[in-house]
């Protein structure tokens, strides 16, 4: 999703061990180049929490 200079990107990846995960990044683009990146590390897939719930941190 694009919002002015900011681009919101969510992607799924796979680690070297095959574990799947999802992250979101907010990229700020100026003059056609990435000027800033904020990365929000996500969760493993499949996630342990059932839909609509959460898992409390220990």
Residue 21 within any structural domain of the chain:
yes
Residue 56 within any structural domain of the chain:
no
Residue 11 within any structural domain of the chain:
yes
pLDDT of residue 49: 75
Residue 55 within any structural domain of the chain:
no
Domain of 20, in residue numbers: 2-45
Please give the Cα distance from 19 to 15 (Å, whole number).
5
Quick one: which of 15, 19, 9 has its CA closest to 46?
A: 19
pTM score above 0.85: no
Burial of 47: CB neighbours in 10 Å, binned 0-12, 13-18, 19+: middle
Our count of domains for the chain comes to 1
Please give the Cα distance from 8 to 37 (Å, whole number).
10
Residue 53 within any structural domain of the chain:
no
Quickly state the pLDDT bin for 36 (edges 50, 70, 90): very high
5-32 pLDDT tens trace: 999 999 999 989 998 988 899 999 999 9
Residue 24 within any structural domain of the chain:
yes
Residue 36 within any structural domain of the chain:
yes
Task: Decide if pLDDT at 45 tops 80.
Answer: no
Residue 29 within any structural domain of the chain:
yes
């Amino acid at each position: 999703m694009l919002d002015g200079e900011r681009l919101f990107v969510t992607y799924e990846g796979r680690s070297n061990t095959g574990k799947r995960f999802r992250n979101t990044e907010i990229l700020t683009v100026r003059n056609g180049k990435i000027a800033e990146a904020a990365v929000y590390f996500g969760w493993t897939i499949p996630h342990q929490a059932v839909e609509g719930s959460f898992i409390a941190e220990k």
